[in-house]
């Protein structure tokens, strides 16, 4: 399976184009869709068909139907497929019950910015084959460089209201016709069908340029974040440390992998690669993986913003009680480490809702040493501060002795003996051993416990970087 990743890479480099997805609107107002009828069934020959008088609807009819009687709305349209139509049966239709009055559902306006009403795929073929992509809520709704698809044989009604004056997209396909010219589509919107299908104050405009950056583009829906999230209801979560992905409305249980990319990175290619290497494996079949470029603001000491850096966010969620998301994250990190230079990846790390993060994946001695040293340095600083503040140890006495604890073994032996006299010759037995103070002190000092420290280790191609955990307490503080 994994034996030809480079071949795959080459293949996808040739095929992989810029990152634009197909976003298909799911609901329809079709006559043949039984969910559109109040009795839950498509009316048959003994039934009286009724459309709400005051509702303007566009209804696509694919085939011929027998009816007893039909009451039409004041305004609206029936789009008849070729060969479609209605006829009245004389007498009783034997294949149809006693006959009821069935009403076309008074569909309330369905919102463009409702992520549940869209499905995404990389290509039109994937859409048809049902190979849908998972994405964060903001990107479930069409992005500015996406192709929007309304199913070929269907009618629909979408409410495109927003606070913006327009919704730019690359193209829109309606009833099998693809519009990518701005003027042509605005002409269509002015037509009878266009007015019935697209409602609301905001104008959908096509002809937006495609994403010219192979590493991906920002979706552009963050301006509509609130509107999008108003339509979403978040479920209850059971994991220890739920994660909030950028662009998502709800915290999730799973893993977020962050990819730091460089020149040569191609998001589309990489998405395909992860799919072909991992997602097709049976053990990962319940995994949902969403990959996108996001811009995270960088914060100094977790508070002061000092810039923004684009990176690739990979959200991995594994079903209800799935547990494979961390394994997949480890696989992705391993792949990024061994093929990073070919893929244009500088570094990768992950955070899991279980509380673990990428340092556990490494298992490299360098990283362990890094953690140990980081913790030692912190403890040393604390000891110095405590000793000096308690006035037990005076600066000239304590300073020479403390830096002479360069490695773990000496600390352990020091701790075991518990010989207070070792700290400094002049200390008497009333001295509080700072080591035993630790448990009560540590919680006050963020990032000193190893669990916290783990979040601040970054594994990159060039080596292991230890980031002072004090500056890193805001890891999980997403601002949305
Ligand atoms: C019928 O409509 C529902 C809701 O609009 C949609 O989810 C479903 O896919 C439609 N069925 C078909 C066969 O298109």
Tell whether 403 is covered by a domain.
no
Tell whether 7 is covered by a domain.
no
- How many CB atoms neighbour CB 44 within 10 A? 19
- Of 37-41, 102-106, 161-165, 378-382, which range is least confident? 378-382
The ligand 1 atom nearest the CA atom of 27: 5
Residues with CB under 6 A from ligand 1: 26-28, 33, 35
**How far is the C-alpha of 39 from the C-alpha of 30, rounded, in Å?**
15
Number of folded domains that form the chain? 5
Tell which of 65, 85, 103 closes a domain.
103
**Residues 299, 388: one domain?**
no
Distance 127 CA to ligand 1 centre (A): 15
The domain that contains 250 carries what CATH number?
3.30.70
The ligand 1 atom nearest the CA atom of 33: 1
Cite the DSSP H helix spans in 204-324.
225-230, 267-274
| Percent over 90 (pLDDT), the chain | 54
**Residues 189, 296: one domain?**
no
**Residues 54, 83: one domain?**
yes
The ligand 1 atom nearest the CA atom of 151: 14
- What's the average model confidence in pLDDT over 210-224? 90
**Residues 354, 387: one domain?**
no
**Residues 378, 346: one domain?**
no
**Residues 339, 245: one domain?**
yes
Distance 39 CA to ligand 1 centre (A): 15
- The residues facing 111 across adjacent strands are 159
Report the nearest-CA residue for atom 8 of ligand 1: 27
pLDDT digits (tens, 9 = 90+) for 78-91: 999 999 999 988 87
Distance 187 CA to ligand 1 centre (A): 28
Report the nearest-CA residue for atom 7 of ligand 1: 27
- The residues facing 178 across adjacent strands are 173
**How far is the C-alpha of 400 from the C-alpha of 412, rounded, in Å?**
19
pLDDT digits (tens, 9 = 90+) for 142-159: 999 999 999 999 999 999
pLDDT digits (tens, 9 = 90+) for 121-143: 999 999 999 999 999 999 999 99
Determine the pLDDT at residue 462. Answer: 44
Q: What are phi and psi of 133, to 5 degrees?
A: -105, 145
Tell whether 125 is covered by a domain.
yes
**Residues 43, 141: one domain?**
no
Query: Which pLDDT band holds residue 318 (cuts at 50, 70, 90)?
Result: confident
Closest to 155 in 3D by CA, of 240, 61, 278:
61
pLDDT above 60 for 453? no
Report the nearest-CA residue for atom 3 of ligand 1: 27
Tell whether 464 is covered by a domain.
yes
Tell whether 330 is covered by a domain.
yes
**Residues 138, 163: one domain?**
yes
When comparing pLDDT for 339 and 422, which is higher? 339
The ligand 1 atom nearest the CA atom of 34: 1
- What's the average model confidence in pLDDT over 59-81? 92
Tell whether 273 is covered by a domain.
yes
**Residues 241, 339: one domain?**
yes
List the domain range (segments joined by +) for residue 128: 20-24+111-210
Distance 26 CA to ligand 1 centre (A): 7
**Residues 339, 372: one domain?**
no
100 with 39: CB under 8 angstroms? yes
**Residues 97, 116: one domain?**
no
Tell which of 54, 73, 103 closes a domain.
103
Determine the pLDDT at residue 354. Answer: 87
pLDDT above 80 for 463? no
**Residues 135, 92: one domain?**
no
Report the nearest-CA residue for atom 14 of ligand 1: 33
Tell whether 221 is covered by a domain.
no
Determine the pLDDT at residue 476. Answer: 43
Report the nearest-CA residue for atom 11 of ligand 1: 33
Distance 35 CA to ligand 1 centre (A): 7
Tell which of 74, 103, 132 closes a domain.
103
Tell whether 276 is covered by a domain.
yes
Q: Where are the beta strands (DSSP E) in 114-235?
A: 118-121, 147-150, 158-159, 166-168, 171-174, 177-179, 198-199, 203-205
């Amino acid at each position: 399976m994994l034996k030809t990743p480079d071949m795959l890479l080459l293949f996808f480099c040739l095929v992989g184009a810029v990152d634009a997805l197909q976003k298909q609107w799911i609901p329809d107002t079709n006559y043949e869709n039984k969910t559109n009828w109040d009795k839950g069934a498509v009316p048959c020959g003994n039934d009286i068909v009724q459309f709400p008088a005051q509702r303007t609807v566009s209804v696509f009819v694919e085939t011929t139907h027998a009816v007893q009687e039909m009451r039409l709305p004041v305004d609206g349209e029936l789009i008849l497929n070729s060969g479609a139509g209605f006829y009245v049966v004389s007498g009783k239709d034997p294949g149809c019950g006693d006959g009821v009055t069935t009403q076309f559902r008074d569909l309330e306006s369905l919102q463009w910015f409702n992520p549940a009403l869209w499905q995404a795929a990389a290509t039109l073929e994937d859409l048809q084959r049902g190979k849908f992509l998972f994405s964060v809520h903001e990107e479930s709704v069409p992005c500015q460089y996406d192709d929007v698809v309304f199913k070929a044989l269907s009618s629909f009604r979408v409410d495109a209201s927003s606070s913006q004056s327009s919704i730019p997209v690359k193209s829109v396909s309606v009833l099998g016709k693809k519009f990518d010219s701005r003027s042509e589509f605005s002409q269509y919107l002015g037509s009878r069908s266009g007015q019935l299908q697209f409602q609301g104050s905001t104008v959908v405009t096509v002809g937006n340029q495609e994403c010219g950056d192979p590493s991906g583009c920002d979706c552009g829906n963050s301006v509509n974040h609130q509107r999008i999230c108003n339509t979403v209801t978040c479920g209850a979560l059971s994991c220890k440390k739920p994660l909030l992905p950028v662009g998502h409305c709800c915290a999730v249980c799973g893993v977020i992998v962050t990819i730091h990319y460089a020149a040569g990175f191609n998001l589309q290619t990489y998405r395909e690669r992860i799919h072909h290497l991992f997602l097709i494996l049976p053990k990962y079949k319940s995994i949902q993986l969403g990959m996108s470029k996001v811009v995270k603001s960088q914060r100094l000491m977790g508070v002061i913003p000092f810039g923004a850096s684009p990176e690739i966010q990979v959200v991995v969620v594994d079903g209800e009680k799935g547990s494979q998301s961390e394994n997949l994250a480890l696989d992705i990190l391993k792949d990024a480490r061994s093929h990073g230079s070919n893929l244009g990846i500088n570094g990768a790390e992950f955070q899991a809702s279980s509380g673990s993060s990428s340092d556990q994946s490494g298992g490299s001695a360098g990283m362990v040493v890094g953690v140990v040293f980081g913790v030692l340095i912190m403890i040393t600083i604390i000891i110095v501060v405590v000793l000096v503040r308690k006035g037990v140890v005076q600066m000239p006495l304590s300073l020479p002795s403390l830096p002479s604890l360069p490695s773990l073994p000496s600390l352990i032996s020091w701790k075991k003996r518990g010989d207070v006299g070792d700290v400094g010759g002049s200390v008497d037995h009333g001295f509080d051993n700072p080591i035993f103070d630790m448990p009560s002190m540590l919680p006050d000092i963020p990032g000193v416990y190893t669990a916290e420290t783990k979040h601040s280790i970054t594994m990159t191609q060039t080596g292991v970087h230890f980031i002072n955990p004090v500056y890193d307490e805001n890891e999980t503080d997403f601002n949305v």
